[in-house]
Amino acid sequence: MRHFYYAALPLLAAVSIVVDTASICAWSQSEGTPPVVIQNLPIPNVMFRMAQVRAVRKDIVAASFYSLSAYTDDNAKFYGWTKYVVPRKGVIFGQRQTVFWLKVDPDAKTIDISIRGTNNLDDVLRDLQVGAIEDSRLAIPLHAGFQSIAVGVFNKLKSILTSNQLNNYSFRLYGHSLGGAVAAVVSMYLYQQGSNVDLVVTFGAPRFTTNEGARKYQVLNLRTYRIVRCDDVVPFLPPPNFFGWKTGGYEANGNVLLLLKPPYFDYSMGIDIERDFVYQLRTELTNNQNKEILAFGHRMPNYYSLVYEISPQYVAFEGGKELVPVSYTLKSQNQLCPPQLGMVHDNKSGTDQRNESKN
């Protein structure tokens, strides 16, 4: 079923564009790639990007492991997370479910929530429910599919958490793909009712609200980090050139950390970073016959492997290079975003991942 989801990703984006897959350039991933010129980035901007990422990179590395673990029960249970299942009506027929994990620390007064992303056909159909609906709690337009799942998760949280926990604990939410979008919406629900939302980290999450919604919750957006691989097409979705009439034009929310070829990265506070949607869509369509590389950039294990390369542990003890901030441009994509970015770490075992997360 997971392969069906990967195969469906190009469909989610390609409905609006006809492309010539033969025109794709072959990029080199060799060590001989010319050095990236960053002279267009003023020193204060370099310092700003470095300071922002260094301040939260331990949290981001941990969040990547939690988001990965949401797909595998063993890892989550190993760290004392509790699994919750929220029944929901299937888009076509039957009953389906949303899975999230919860960890409460009464000493630190923190509550961590990790929401599983797209994992089956019904999830894909929810992804495709792109029409904007007015949310009664937030009074902003939201992606209909993600909103329906977020309501179920939020109601479940209210039923299992005490009033003291909802009002006096700090919440941290994580998620990948659909799970990331739902985590962001749930964080808005918590924030709206007065709960303290300390951190939201999403990986490869699609857009889910309009400029109106992003602006209304811009204080919360300062605590929201959208982690995006440069080779992931999903954060572009829904594509405005086709779905704009149904969505009103969804926009990205939060701060963006764009993962490039290590050790390079770009960071933007509250402003999305432009990438070449058409190029990435062409790549996904070309990869459609190869399940090993189809949607490679969107897979959570591949997010985890690339995020790990910015961790202090990797830089200090495993020969990693210190981070280099750049101002990403479409002209630099050949150098900064080669195909199958970060393959070297993609085969880590679950045990290795648990050990790395503890360090």
Read off the pLDDT of residues 266-325 as tens digits, 9 standing for 90 and up.
999 988 888 877 777 777 776 666 666 777 889 999 999 999 988 888 888 777 788 889
Q: Would 308 be classed as within a structural domain?
A: yes
Contact partners, residue 56, CB within 8 Å, separation at least 6:
199, 225
pLDDT of residue 186: 98
**Residue pLDDT, tens place only, 306-317:** 999 888 888 887
In this prediction, residues 121-141 reach a mean pLDDT of: 88
Q: Would 31 be classed as within a structural domain?
A: no
Report how far residue 103's alpha carbon sits from residue 243's, in angstroms, rounded to the nearest whole number.
37
CATH code for the domain in which residue 266 is found: 3.40.50.1820
Range of the domain at 9: 2-16+38-358
Specify the number of domains making up the chain: 1
Structure tokens at 121: 């056909």
Residue 164's CB is within 10 A of a number of other CB atoms, namely 10
pLDDT of residue 273: 87
Q: Would 282 be classed as within a structural domain?
A: yes
Q: Would 61 be classed as within a structural domain?
A: yes
In this prediction, residues 349-357 reach a mean pLDDT of: 40
Q: Would 29 be classed as within a structural domain?
A: no
Q: Are strands 110-115 and 95-105 parallel, antiparallel or unpaired?
A: antiparallel
Give the pLDDT band (50/70/90) at residue 241: low
Q: What is the pTM of this model?
A: 0.83
In this prediction, residues 94-110 reach a mean pLDDT of: 93
Q: Would 214 be classed as within a structural domain?
A: yes
Q: Would 238 be classed as within a structural domain?
A: yes
Q: Indicate whether 139 pLDDT > 60.
A: yes
CB 33 within 8 A of CB 334: no
Q: Would 347 be classed as within a structural domain?
A: yes
Side chain identity at 247, as an amino acid letter? Answer: T
